[in-house]
Amino acid sequence: MRIKYKPFSRWYGMISVFLRASSLLQISYIMILSLLSCTPLFGIFCNRILTTLPMTAIML
């Protein structure tokens, strides 16, 4: 019985780590967008982030 439950716990650990990393990325993404929306001078930079972040999310 213990041998059967080991891979499930391993997958659960990997999924929990991935969920923590994705939640941290979402929080930092929202904070960067709010900071850039406050300053209209960085509109080009904001557009660059919006185009590059989905690509990095797909790569991850």
> In 3-state terms, what secondary structure has residue 53?
helix
Write the single-letter amino acid at 39.
T
- Cα gap 50→39, rounded to integer Å: 16
**Per-residue confidence (pLDDT) for residue 12, from 0 to 100:** 78
User: Which residues form the domain of 8?
Assistant: 2-59
Count how many domains the chain has.
1
Tokens 């999924």 belong to residue: 15
Q: What is the pLDDT along the chain (60 residues), one digit of tens a residue?
A: 455 556 667 777 877 888 888 888 888 887 777 776 666 656 666 677 777 766 666 655
**Per-residue confidence (pLDDT) for residue 26, from 0 to 100:** 83
**Per-residue confidence (pLDDT) for residue 57, from 0 to 100:** 62
